[in-house]
Structure 1
Amino acid sequence: MALPRLENAVARRLFMDRHALLEQPSGASKGGDLLQLISRLGFVQLDSINTVARAHDMILYSRRPSYRAKHLTDLYHGGGALFEHWTHDAAMIPLAFYPQWHLRFQRDEALLRKRWRNWRRDGFEQQFDTVLTHIRDHGPVSSSDLGKGEKKSSGGWWDWHPSKTALEYLWRTGALTVVGRSGFQKRYDLTERVIDEALHAPAVPLDPAPTVDWLCSQALDRLGFATSGELAAFWDTASATEARQWCQQAKARDEIEEIEVEAADGSLRKCFARPGTVDQAAELAPAPGRM
């Protein structure tokens, strides 16, 4: 039986729709309205490079022209509605998604210890207790508050002293939470003081299956159609194997179906989508003139 086919022009419209780019760019851009937009996108990637503007500000402005950089800062610093962590890169993520990051914390714990030991950051593990005690006694810190007199590593982007590396490791593995930035420098505090206890990791060993299910399902809803590899890459926590197995199981449950998507050059590739996606996409209107 032939697979449902998503023609290229329709696929483009669907992709834009899922990324909030098919509608007229307008609407409120503060507080709960901004949080709703970020939740719809899944996250907004942070970028330190500032040419025209920082990438995260351009992403939000393109969808809400009344947006200003202060609106994201207010939501992040004062609202307790977002947390900062990693997807494929550093990102602002709705706090409601925080429990889904426990798997990321767990996996980063082993991965980063091994990786960073090989990147000439010797001594960072010995700083864990010192860093945590300092923050517990003195409150939030940035990397410039610690590590005075410590030797830095090899330079460039990774010119970190051991205490800076310890801060980043403890943040990436969930013990610390970024509570704001001064300029673009992160400030860290104890997670137990920042994140509501109800969102903390469970005491029992973590079963990855529910998180993988959430990650793949939510990624597909935000992409519209995707390969298993693209589902894995969206949040960059589930492995390619886990995403592939999820697709097989979800297809067996009739939660997704296989479709053909036409590329710009006319070639076809197989993807997964929710049942009925092809018919629903055909009903989407073209993008407004401004977009």
Structure 2
Amino acid sequence: MIHKLTRDEARRIAVRAQLLDADRPGDVVEVAEQLGAIKIDPTATIATAEHSILWSRIGMGYEPVQLSKNVEKDHLLFEFDGAFRPMSLLPLMMPGMRRWPQRASSRAWLDANDSFRTDVLARLRAEGPTLAADIPDTAKVARDTSDGWYGASQVVHMLDSLMRQGEIAIVGRTGRHRRWDIAERVYPQGQPEYEPKDAERMLDERRLQAAGIAKQKSPWTPVGEAGEPAEVEGSSWTFRVDPEALSALDDDPGGRVAFLNPYDGMLFDRPRLKGLFEFEYVLEQFKPKAKRKYGFFAYPILMGDRFVGMLDAEMNRERDTLTVNAVHEFFPFEAEESEMVRAEISELGEWLGVTVSAW
């Protein structure tokens, strides 16, 4: 059976799956379990990605210390590949980690630096949580960094490689700097073991859970055969829909206003944003100033199940002020909509502990 959905229904499924409806989640772990990944990024025009993503879901009840506690003390979340993830995903990811790397150039670099690998593991095992800066670089062969995406430090490359193989893990951070340790001292022991095919199937199901609805063959939200087939009015795509999200359509708590960090997972699948929400999102962070329309790091404004504008705001840390440069309205707001946006800005300022400038 192929489910027939209206665009409104598809949007509501997507919004609720991302915990952006009126029924806010209660804590950090609940958010992580549903979303699967909470992006980490240091850009803090308002707040860093991980904290603003959590605030946009939980609201005033969220305090940044809750995140570090769940990662470093309770070990309910773990950091991997630039995101915080729920520990329940680790057993599903482990089969793929054991097969890493697939790329020949990465395998060749690791083979050439086997003694370097041994040195790093021995130091972590002997010394415990360690910063990359405190690990000597004994690499025999340097990795190619001509693409500009990676720095020259071979230590960072080796640590990242060992993390991807499940040998080591990030135990916490000192400021923005990661502290590394042997995986067995970070990850809980006695986790279930899965065959690779079963693990990949369950990962597809978790990705669909986070999306609610996704294009079946999307490279942005790979969900395989998870869920059930669906069609959305006005779209030629074949979708997969989460059956639990579908069954909850009639139990609708309504929408609210949410400001989304540019690295929010809701914004990641650009084709889906355009197809379902009619929202062509472009991050202007890397554009020359003269070519920016909405601002360096403007936050998309979600109202209910529609993207209605962009919030261009930034923290002035010397004056403890949230400066609102502009609220860009895609269409003129009605009075009630303006009030809802103003109220959310006021709450944002209160959560940050600063005053808000007028705009």
Give the alignment's TM-score, normalised by structure 2.
Answer: 0.62
Aligned residue number for residue 202 of structure 2: 214
Does 1:131 pair with 2:135?
no
AA matched with 2:75: G
Could you say which structure has the higher strand fraction? 2
1:99 and 1:68 map into 2 onto residues whose CA distance is 28
Distance 2:195 2:48 in 1: 37
Partner of 2:252: 284
Q: Is the 8 A contact 1:24 1:288 kept in 2?
A: no
Does the aligned pair in 2 maintain the 1:170–1:176 contact within 8 Å? yes
Q: Which moved more, 1:178-187 or 1:277-286?
A: 277-286
**Pick aligned residue for 1:53 from 47, 51, 60:** 47
Q: Report if the CA contact (8 A) 1:5-1:278 is conserved.
A: no
The superposition leaves residues 156-176 of structure 1 with CA deviations (integer Å, 9 ceiling, x where unpaired) of 542233332211111111000
Residue pairs, 1:88-127, within 5 angstroms: 90-111=82-103, 114-115=105-106, 124-127=113-116
Q: Following the alignment from structure 2 to structure 1, what is the Cα–Cα distance between the partners of residues 40 and 129?
A: 21
Matches within 5 A, 1:123-162: 124-147=113-136, 154=145, 156-162=148-154
169 and 7 in structure 1: CA distance in 2 versus 1, 3 angstrom threshold: same
Q: One-letter code of the match for 1:219? A: R
2:314 counterpart residue number? none
Classify 1:10/1:158 alpha carbon distance in 2 versus 1 (closer, same or farther; 3 Å). Answer: same
Distance 1:135 1:81 in 2: 22
- Greater CA drift, 11-20 or 101-110: 101-110
CA RMSD of aligned residues (A): 3.1
Question: 2:11 is matched by which residue type in structure 1?
Answer: R
1:61-100 residue pairs with structure 2 within 5 A? 61-66=55-60, 67-86=62-81, 90-100=82-92
> Does the C-alpha gap of structure 1 residues 277 and 197 become closer, same or farther in structure 2, counting only changes over 3 Å?
closer
Instruction: Tell me how far 1:107 sits from its aligned partner.
Output: 3.0
> What is the CA–CA distance in structure 2 between the aligned matches of 1:188 and 1:127, rounded to whole Å?
16
Q: Distance in 1 between matches of 2:241 and 2:80?
A: 28
Higher helix share: 1
Identify unmatched segments of 5+ residues in structure 2.
259-302, 304-359
Instruction: Show the counterpart of 1:41.
Output: 35
Query: By how many angstroms is 1:142 displaced?
Result: 1.4
Alpha-carbon distance between aligned partners in 2 of 1:124 and 1:192, rounded to the nearest angstrom: 23
Q: Note closer, same or farther for the CA distance 1:192–1:277 as it changes in structure 2 (3 Å cut).
A: closer
Residue matched to 2:270:
none
Distance of aligned partners of 1:24 and 1:147 in 2 relative to their CA distance in 1, 3 Å threshold: same
CA contact (8 A) 1:123 1:162 kept: no
Alignment of 1:119-268 (within 5 A): 124-147=113-136, 154=145, 156-199=148-191, 207-230=195-218, 233-234=220-221, 244=224, 247=225, 256-262=227-233, 266-268=234-236
Per-residue CA deviation, residues 147-189 of structure 1 (Å, 9 max, x unaligned), is: 3687976475422333322111111110001001122221110
SS in 1 for 2:237: strand
1:21 has 2:20 as partner: yes
| Residue identity in the other structure for 2:79 | E
Change (3 A) 1:208 1:70: same
Higher RCO by CA contacts (8 Å cutoff, separation 6 or greater): 1
Q: Secondary structure at the match of 2:21?
A: coil
- How big is the shift at 1:5? 1.9
**Structure 1's 17 and 132: CA in aligned 2 closer, same or farther, altered over 3 A?**
same
Aligned length: 255
In structure 2, what is the Cα distance between the partners aligned to 1:10 and 1:99? 33
Indicate conservation of the 8 Å contact 2:229/2:240, yes or no. Answer: yes
CA shift in 2, pair 1:75/1:276, >3 Å: closer
CA distance in 2, matches of 1:149, 1:127: 5
- Quote the offset at 1:282 in angstroms: 5.0
Report if aligned partners of 2:13, 2:246 keep a CA contact under 8 Å in 1. Answer: no
